Structure 1
Amino acid sequence: MSALSRSVNTARSLPRSTLASTSRLSIRNYATPSSVKNDGQQMMFGGPPPKRKEDGAVLKTYTGKGYPFIPSLRHVVYPYHPHLHKGGPLRELTIPLRRKGGRNNTGRIVNRHIGGGHKRRLRMVDFHRVQGGQHDVIRIEYDPGRSAHIALIKKRTSTSSTSGKSLTPNLIEEIEEALSEENRNTPKSLEAVKAGFSYIVAPEGLRKGDVVISYRKGIPQSLINEFDNTSSSSSEESKLSNNLEDDKVGATDTPEMRRALGLLRTITLKSGNVLPLFLIPPGTQVHNLSLTTDGKMQLCRSAGTFAQIVSHQSETGKSIGGSDVLTMGGGFDENGNRLPKKGYVLVKMQSGEVRKLDPGCVATIGVVSNKEHQSRSLGKAGRSRWLGKRPHVRGVAMNAVDHPHGGGRGKQKGNKHPRSIYGLLQHVRTRRPKDKDGNKSVVTERPRGKQTAAKH
């Protein structure tokens, strides 16, 4: 006991710093440092976060440090695109939007839930793309009148200041300065507009400085000399086959023609280019499809939408492949005369509907930009009012004098069939359909209702 008491007294007499140092030393002797280095863990906890690509879209929220904690910003989610133009549009390519609040010429409301909103100007977008040649992309802009982005393009001509060459960054800055708000309605701005500016729907991935070409009038003879899809058959081929018509393309499914077609598709199949459907291979994603040979492009124009080329078929329904697609016709010749079509092209929409279109109809290569549009959240009712949308009121919440579902006690509509505010029953046609047997161009209708797996 005397030895134990002496050791305890000795430990009590030591200073606290000595005890702390000895305890740390004892712990370090038992610890075994790891020789494996985890660079990912060091980057996650100790190093800076990985850099984001400035080119892609970011779903931006307005909460956290630097933002006020208020209800109007709590649920807001907006896609942020760094490549968009920060200024306004080219005013010479816009027209004012006159609002009528959903009323007709007599002042009656014919379109409900419309009214108010921020003042806008309509952008005049080119949905025909008839002008051929190379067009340089000046900038990508936001359009309040549509969900997709638009691109300001300029035709490259020999008479312009570009002299047929690609636009340099300095030249693009000079053009943007001429189109700025400060130089509006000045000779400098008007001269820039006359140089061939226009707006198009921007496909995904299109950026400032890119080049887009429209082949709606046909493939230029200078691009490829093996064949010309708008001219008549050559004299040598007419000697070999006297049955060829004058307006038929002199092309056969030979290895040489297949290589020529592959070369043509390699050059022309780029995002933003316009091509006739018979030159686009199956499986290609396209947008801005025209329903007629000389009409404007009407299908797949919203943000993130696209269609897919399924196959090329003859008049008898037989699939066409290789360079035989050049004999489908359907376009225009050099004199502007329509060539007879010999088949059609099957196109599948995102809804699952399959349509058959003329081979001379055109489409733009790629997917429509701003696919993040569906991920946005307005966050409050006021932003809907800024967009020109008025509130929707349920019929059961109204009085009996205002709606067929109104009145009564409790949340019920009196065992009535669903109908509109004007008394029209739901799912009942109010007009005779234009086509008695349905749309003739629809091969397979889109799936409707709940889809179940097939039982084997």
Structure 2
Amino acid sequence: MNLLVKLCSRLAVSPRPLQVMPSRASAYKHVEKPAPGTGKAFRRIVHYPEEYTVKPLNVTNLGGRDPVSGRMVAKGIGGGIKHKYHWVDWKRLAPKDGSPLVEKVFEVIEDGCRTGHVALVGQGDELRYIMATENMKPGNLITTYSEIPRIPVRPKEGDAHPIGALPQNTKVCCVEMHPGRGAFFCKSAGSCATIGRKVGNEVLVTLPSKREFFLNQECIAIVGRISNAIHSSIPIGSAQRLRWLGYRPRSGLWQRKSGIHGRKIRAPIPIMAITKPREKPAEAITFTLKTF
């Protein structure tokens, strides 16, 4: 009994305070993987100047690492050929007085940082890059309109119109989500949306994914589809070409027939003997009760 009392007194009065050692995991910074749709893919950082320029911009390839901590976040990104970045102006805005803006196409080039081609256009002393449509060639004149007439216009590829001025079933690309905010939909190679019916001040637009949106009729869209439509059908051909495109190989942990990452090994389905046709279930007997 005395021994139990001494033990309880030692536990109650402790001469040394309890110290909590920090865990080893808390010493490291946890980096979340990029969520889809946030625009952060840990592939490159573009060094933008203060003012718009058509000069190719320098980039810093991240290789799938977080630029702050340097930790690997996206394992499928790495290597690749270094390309200059061409600053694309996503806003096709006409003058405020309502007159159309006519620009000339000087050059159509390939951009290693995009799937579609870009076109160098200009008017007066101003030059800018825009996304080239499928049949756009040097020397063409493209026009940007801002008016919505009562009768739908006759669309011409490369021209920009408010979607409220285009007839139904017109193929468009670089569609704005909000008026004046710049292109948001259909900016990759070979993509295009379809103009649908008009309800009030809104126009139905069908995207390549079959999703449909009612957008403001003043949203600007470019007639036609984005250039380089064969991008998705070009065969890779070798593993080395994937490295040129900036994709790292798989980890090697995935195995087809092992039960860790791939297809599971299961017992075969037992044999079922079919000797005679199945009998029909017996009809249910119903009883009725008449009350007097």
Normalized against structure 1, the TM-score is what?
0.43
Q: Partners of 2:236 and 2:263 in 1: how far apart?
A: 35
SS across alignment from 2:241:
helix
Q: CA deviation at 1:92?
A: 4.2
SS across alignment from 1:374: helix
Deviation at 1:349, TM superposition (A): 1.2
8 Å contact from structure 2 (residues 119, 129) kept in 1: yes
Cα distance in structure 1, aligned partners of 2:212 and 2:206: 4
Q: CA deviation at 1:415?
A: 10
Q: 1:412 aligns with which of 226, 241, 259?
A: 259
Shift of 1:306: 0.6
Runs of 4+ aligned structure 1 residues displaced above 6 Å come to: 414-417
CA contact (8 A) 2:65 2:74 kept: yes
- The answer for the alignment partner of 2:135 in structure 1 is 205
Identify the match of residue 100 of structure 1 among 62, 71, 91.
62
Q: Specify the alignment match of 1:317 in structure 2.
A: none
Q: Does 1:151 align with 2:37?
A: no
2:255 matches 1:293: no
Q: Which amino acid counterpart does residue 149 of structure 1 have in structure 2?
A: H
Other-structure match for 1:224: none
Look up the match of 1:175: none
Q: For residue 192 of structure 1, what is the aligned residue in structure 2?
A: none
Q: Which residue of 2 aligns with 1:119?
A: 82
Aligned to 1:384: 242
Of Structure 1 and Structure 2, which has the larger fraction of its residues in helix? 1
Written as runs of structure 1 = structure 2, the 5 A alignment for 1:44-443 is 92-104=54-66, 105-130=68-93, 132=95, 133-155=101-123, 157=124, 195-215=125-145, 218-219=146-147, 261=151, 265-266=153-154, 269-314=155-200, 343-393=201-251, 395-397=253-255, 411-413=258-260
Task: Specify the code of the residue in structure 2 equivalent to 1:413.
Answer: I
CA pair 368-97 structure 1, distance change in 2 beyond 3 A: same
Normalising by the residue count of structure 2, what TM-score does the alignment of the two structures yield?
0.65
Relative distance call for 1:279 and 1:112 in structure 2 (3 A) is same
- SS of residue in 1 equivalent to 2:85: strand
- Per-residue deviation at 1:383? 1.0
- 1:360 deviates by 1.6
CA distance in 2, matches of 1:387, 1:396: 22
Count residues with an aligned counterpart.
Answer: 206
* 2:37 matched residue in structure 1: none
Shift of 1:395: 3.9
Cα distance in 1 for partners of 2:112, 2:261 equals 42
* Per-residue deviation, residues 344-398 of structure 1 (Å, max 9, x unmatched): 111111221111111121111111111111221121111111111101235444x
Change (3 A) 1:344 1:209: same
| Residue pair 1:278, 1:345 contacting (<8 A) in 2 also | yes
Distance change (3 Å), C-alpha of 1:136 and 1:121: same
Identity %: 29
Is the CA contact (8 Å cut-off) linking 1:93 and 1:198 kept in structure 2? no
Q: Distance in 2 between matches of 1:372 and 1:415?
A: 32
Give me the whole-angstrom Cα distance separating, in 2, the residues matched to 1:364 and 1:348: 15
Instruction: Give per-residue Cα distances to partners, 1:176-215, cap 9 Å, x unaligned.
Output: xxxxxxxxxxxxxxxxxxx211111111111111101122
Distance in 1 between the 2:263 and 2:80 partners? Answer: 36
CA distance in 2, matches of 1:204, 1:393: 38
Match of 1:34 in 2: none
Q: CA RMSD of the aligned region, Å?
A: 2.4
Deviations 1:385-429 (A, max 9, x none): 1111101235444xxxxxxx9xxxx62128999xxxxxxxxxxxx
Aligned to 1:122, what secondary structure does the other structure show?
A: coil
Q: Give 1:362's aligned amino acid.
A: I
Distance 2:70 2:60 in 1: 15
Distance 1:94 1:147 in 2: 17
Ranges in structure 1 where 5+ consecutive residues have no aligned partner? 1-90, 158-194, 220-228, 230-256, 315-342, 398-404, 418-456
- Contact 1:204–1:370 under 8 Å retained in 2: yes
